[in-house]
């Protein structure tokens, strides 16, 4: 818990101003008729208070008329002043606050209101924390212990436990003063999520909570729950997008953490990117160049939109995994100037939840940082003497549009958090339930590690290696599309096709009826196999199932059919999220250890 710097500055000013007043009265401008200066000295019986506690503040007023002082409190109404006399007052802290606060009690001379003195008192709230820290998966019929801890509760009143929804999502058992056990439902068909909240009895508004998602099977500390549910933007559901939650903490400090839902899981990018507006309580360290400039990161999209914000260091928790000192991008909320090298001169800065369609992006593509491709670091000047438009060094008020990119080594690049996990760090398995017709929502899992635990075996999956650009080849409808890839962050099968596009959703395909199609994927050095998929009329599907989030047959056009010749032109087939329905898709991270018998990463497998 923290408090605003602005308030601290204001309080410092108040103290400074009071000192000035006192000093000036010594100078003789504020005097009693007899000429002796008036002054006030305050003594407090305590400088720190917990919830509901009281303190007596005494004033020694040097004033020939002995008229004493009057009392004021700032912030007004944060607690109460009672038993007010000319020389003392009792302050009582409130009983229902949750943010640490510094209050100021000021005494003002009755004889001369220009003479004041004040004392500051820190008031600490009851803080409740719960372990586990972040959302967990659990198998049906299993149990998980939970621990609650409370600080600043002088009455040691303890906590109460509650579960939402109250029925059908498991129960709470074995409640002790410091813990309880979550008992998952005995049987589930679809995943069921329960939110457990622990509240201080002394101050019920001091709470902490954690979610458990019960799966039929396959849960574990290395498994995060995924939801394809439209995401966090109310009234503007995002179809075919998988979301999870992450917990971000100030480095090395478990007491200052925030859990953020609505994080898009994206195999098409690398690195965690969080909207600044989602982490107001955190103060994450950034990189400075010594002249006060902050290292900023840029993501550009093919449509000219972009993400902008500083590289920041944080401990990132996902399921039971932790990426200590992960380097992430904090997407700046302000619309301060951005280098043209990043913005391309466009205004499409995706810096709000509404614009991004998510609260953040968890980029888990097969690379360790956002500037490494197939073992080559393109930002550290080892290969490209000129740095590309990914990293910039800018003053706090914003970049100059003409500012150029800077060289940045791997130790300052936005990092794939999976690569930093202690054990399950060589890749991921993204798995979603099969889909036959549009659905309101569906579920899945993101499993960390490949062949590192009993629940992440490669099994019979076929490995497809990638080329120097990080892509593989898809052969579709007599086209050899050599810049193809798998992208859970894309909502469709995206390809150069002959089907008509839609009249309403003009980027999408609208065949007259469902089309069943087949393509062949071919890895760079190994892997070959057919993929059956289908594309249906997007306008019809969206119109008949408004508000649905799951469409297994969504297709989009990214280039003119047959414009790809010898690797130039429209040569990209994007296997978007519909590809993941009913599949387990493995992503092996470049440079990490891979299972015995598999080629060096990066590669995909399914």
Site for other proteins in 324-363 (CB under 8 A): 340-341, 344-348, 350, 354-355, 357, 363
Looking at beta carbons only, is 239 or 438 nearer to other proteins?
Answer: 239
Looking at beta carbons only, is 25 or 405 nearer to other proteins?
Answer: 405
Question: Structure tokens of 50?
Answer: 């917990």
Q: Which residues 6+ apart lie within 8 Å of 533 measured at CB?
A: 493, 516, 517, 518, 519, 553, 578, 579
Looking at beta carbons only, is 91 or 243 nearer to other proteins?
Answer: 243
Least distance (Å) from other proteins to the CB of residue 182? 35
**Between β-strands 257-266 and 360-364, what pairing exists: parallel, antiparallel or unpaired?**
parallel
The reply on whether position 373 binds other proteins by CB under 8 A is: yes
Indicate which single residue of 61, 257, 260, 490 sits in contact with other proteins (rule: CB under 8 A). 490
Partners of residue 60 on adjacent β-strands: 41
Question: Structure tokens of 59?
Answer: 């004033």
Widest distance between CA atoms in the chain: 105
Contact 553, 508 (CB under 8 A): no
- Which range in 28-36, 454-462, 472-480, 566-574 contacts other proteins by CB under 8 A? 566-574
Looking at beta carbons only, is 238 or 583 nearer to other proteins?
Answer: 238
Indicate which single residue of 507, 514, 525, 543 sits in contact with other proteins (rule: CB under 8 A). 507
* HEC-encoded secondary structure of 189-231: CCCEEEEEEEEECCCCCCEEEEEEEEECCCCCCCEEEEEECCC
Indicate which single residue of 471, 479, 524, 584 sits in contact with other proteins (rule: CB under 8 A). 471
DSSP assigned state of 16 = H
Looking at beta carbons only, is 160 or 501 nearer to other proteins?
Answer: 501
Least distance (Å) from other proteins to the CB of residue 399? 9
Distance separating alpha carbons of residues 567 and 63, to the nearest angstrom? 91
Least distance (Å) from other proteins to the CB of residue 505? 10
Looking at beta carbons only, is 315 or 403 nearer to other proteins?
Answer: 403
Looking at beta carbons only, is 126 or 342 nearer to other proteins?
Answer: 342
- What binding mask, one character per residue, do residues 526-565 give for other proteins by CB under 8 A, x or -? ------------------------------xxxxx-xxxx
Looking at beta carbons only, is 87 or 501 nearer to other proteins?
Answer: 501
Segment 199-238, which members bind other proteins (CB under 8 A)?
236, 238
Partners of residue 476 on adjacent β-strands: 479
Indicate which single residue of 172, 384, 433, 531 sits in contact with other proteins (rule: CB under 8 A). 384
Indicate which single residue of 33, 177, 235, 303 sits in contact with other proteins (rule: CB under 8 A). 303
Partners of residue 121 on adjacent β-strands: 103
Looking at beta carbons only, is 15 or 378 nearer to other proteins?
Answer: 378
Measured CA distances, 166 to 160, 169, 170, 193, 197 (Å) = 14, 7, 8, 11, 11
- What binding mask, one character per residue, do residues 400-429 give for other proteins by CB under 8 A, x or -? x---xx------------------------
Least distance (Å) from other proteins to the CB of residue 315? 24
First vs last Cα of the chain: how many Å apart?
44
What is the sign of the dihedral through the CA atoms of 476, 482, 483 and 489? Answer: positive
DSSP string, 248-279: EESTT-TTSEEEEEEEEEETTSEEEEEEGGG-
CA-nearest of 464, 497, 501, 493 to 478 is 497
Segment 140-169, which members bind other proteins (CB under 8 A)?
none
Looking at beta carbons only, is 411 or 469 nearer to other proteins?
Answer: 469
Least distance (Å) from other proteins to the CB of residue 506? 8
- What binding mask, one character per residue, do residues 279-298 give for other proteins by CB under 8 A, x or -? ------------x-x-----
Q: Which residues 6+ apart lie within 8 Å of 309 measured at CB?
A: 273, 276, 296, 297, 329, 330, 331, 332, 351
Indicate which single residue of 389, 477, 540, 600 sits in contact with other proteins (rule: CB under 8 A). 389
Least distance (Å) from other proteins to the CB of residue 187? 36
Contact 461, 247 (CB under 8 A): no
Least distance (Å) from other proteins to the CB of residue 572? 5
Contact 172, 180 (CB under 8 A): yes
- What binding mask, one character per residue, do residues 239-278 give for other proteins by CB under 8 A, x or -? --x--------------------------xxx--------
Least distance (Å) from other proteins to the CB of residue 594? 20
Looking at beta carbons only, is 478 or 513 nearer to other proteins?
Answer: 478
Looking at beta carbons only, is 532 or 566 nearer to other proteins?
Answer: 566
Looking at beta carbons only, is 165 or 401 nearer to other proteins?
Answer: 401
Question: Structure tokens of 369?
Answer: 């940082």
Indicate which single residue of 280, 304, 409, 529 sits in contact with other proteins (rule: CB under 8 A). 304
Partners of residue 195 on adjacent β-strands: 164, 211
Segment 439-468, which members bind other proteins (CB under 8 A)?
none
Least distance (Å) from other proteins to the CB of residue 269? 4
- Which range in 301-309, 326-334, 422-430, 519-527 contacts other proteins by CB under 8 A? 301-309
Half-sphere exposure of 406 (CA within 13 A, CB side): 19
Least distance (Å) from other proteins to the CB of residue 237? 10
Least distance (Å) from other proteins to the CB of residue 347? 5
Distance separating alpha carbons of residues 107 and 115, to the nearest angstrom? 8
Entry field: residues in the chain: 606
DSSP assigned state of 246 = E
- What binding mask, one character per residue, do residues 93-112 give for other proteins by CB under 8 A, x or -? --------------------
Contact 263, 361 (CB under 8 A): yes
Q: How many residues sit close enough to other proteins to count as binding (CB under 8 A)? A: 73
CA-nearest of 179, 276, 184 to 225 is 184
The SS3 call for residue 448 is strand
Structure-token match 């590690």, residue found: 449
Structure-token match 């209101």, residue found: 113
Strands (E), 75-191: 80-82, 88-92, 101-109, 116-124, 127-131, 136-139, 143-151, 159-164, 171-176, 179-183
Alpha helix (H) ranges present in 503-604?
Answer: 538-544
Q: What is the signed CA dihedral for 125, 129, 135, 137, rounded to 10 degrees?
A: -150
Indicate which single residue of 321, 367, 380, 451 sits in contact with other proteins (rule: CB under 8 A). 367
Looking at beta carbons only, is 483 or 605 nearer to other proteins?
Answer: 483
Least distance (Å) from other proteins to the CB of residue 291? 7
């Amino acid at each position: 818990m923290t408090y605003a710097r602005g308030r601290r500055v204001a309080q410092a000013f108040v103290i400074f101003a009071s000192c000035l007043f006192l000093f000036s009265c010594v100078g003789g401008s504020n005097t009693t008729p007899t000429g002796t200066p008036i002054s006030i000295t305050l003594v407090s019986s305590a400088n720190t208070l917990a919830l509901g506690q009281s303190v007596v503040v005494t004033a020694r007023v040097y004033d020939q008329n002995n008229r004493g002082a009057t009392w004021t409190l700032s912030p007004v109404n944060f607690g109460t002043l009672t038993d007010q006399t000319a020389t003392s007052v009792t302050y009582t802290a409130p009983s229902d606050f949750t943010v640490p606060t510094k209050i100021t009690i000021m005494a003002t001379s009755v004889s001369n209101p220009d003479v004041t003195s004040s004392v500051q008192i820190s008031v600490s709230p009851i803080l409740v924390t719960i372990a586990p820290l972040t959302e967990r998966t659990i198998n049906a019929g299993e149990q998980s212990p939970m621990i609650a801890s409370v600080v600043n509760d002088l009455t040691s009143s303890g906590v109460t436990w509650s579960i939402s929804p109250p029925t059908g999502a498991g129960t709470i058992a074995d409640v002790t003063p410091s813990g309880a056990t979550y008992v998952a439902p005995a049987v589930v068909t679809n995943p069921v999520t329960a939110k457990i909240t622990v509240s201080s009895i002394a101050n019920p508004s001091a709470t902490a909570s954690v979610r458990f998602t019960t799966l039929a099977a396959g849960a574990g500390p290395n498994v995060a729950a995924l939801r394809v549910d439209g995401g966090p933007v109310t009234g503007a559901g995002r179809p075919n997008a998988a979301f999870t939650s992450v917990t971000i903490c100030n480095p090395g400090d478990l007491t200052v953490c925030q859990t953020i839902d609505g994080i898009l899981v994206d195999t098409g990018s690398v690195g965690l990117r969080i909207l600044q507006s989602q982490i107001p309580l955190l103060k994450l360290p950034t990189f400075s160049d010594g002249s006060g400039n902050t290292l900023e990161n840029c993501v550009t999209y093919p449509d000219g939109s972009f993400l902008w914000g500083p590289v920041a260091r944080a401990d990132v928790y996902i399921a039971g995994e932790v990426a200590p000192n992960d380097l992430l991008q904090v997407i700046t909320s302000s619309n301060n100037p951005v280098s043209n090298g990043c913005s391309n001169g466009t205004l499409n800065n995706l810096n709000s939840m509404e614009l991004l369609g998510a609260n953040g992006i968890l980029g888990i593509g097969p690379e360790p940082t956002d500037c490494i491709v197939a073992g080559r670091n393109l930002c550290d000047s080892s290969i490209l003497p000129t740095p590309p438009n990914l990293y910039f060094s800018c003053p706090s008020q914003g970049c100059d549009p003409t500012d150029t990119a800077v060289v940045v080594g791997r130790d300052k690049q936005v990092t794939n958090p999976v690569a930093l996990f202690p054990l399950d760090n060589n890749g991921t398995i993204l798995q979603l339930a099969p889909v036959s017709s549009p659905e309101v929502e569906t579920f899945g899992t993101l499993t960390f590690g490949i062949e590192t635990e009993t629940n992440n075996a490669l099994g019979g999956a076929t490995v497809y290696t990638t080329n120097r650009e990080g892509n593989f080849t898809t052969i579709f409808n007599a086209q050899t599309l050599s810049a193809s890839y798998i992208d859970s962050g894309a909502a469709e099968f995206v390809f150069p096709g002959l089907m008509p596009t839609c009249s309403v959703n003009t980027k999408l395909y609208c065949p007259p009826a469902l089309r069943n199609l087949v393509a062949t994927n071919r890895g760079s050095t190994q892997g070959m196999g057919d993929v059956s998929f289908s594309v249906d009329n997007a306008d019809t599907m969206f119109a008949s199932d408004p508000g649905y989030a799951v469409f297994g047959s969504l297709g989009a056009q990214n280039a003119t059919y047959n414009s790809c010749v010898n690797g130039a032109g429209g040569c990209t087939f994007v296997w978007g999220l519909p590809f993941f329905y009913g599949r387990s898709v493995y992503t092996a991270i470049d440079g990490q250890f891979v299972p015995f018998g598999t080629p060096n990463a990066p590669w995909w497998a399914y």
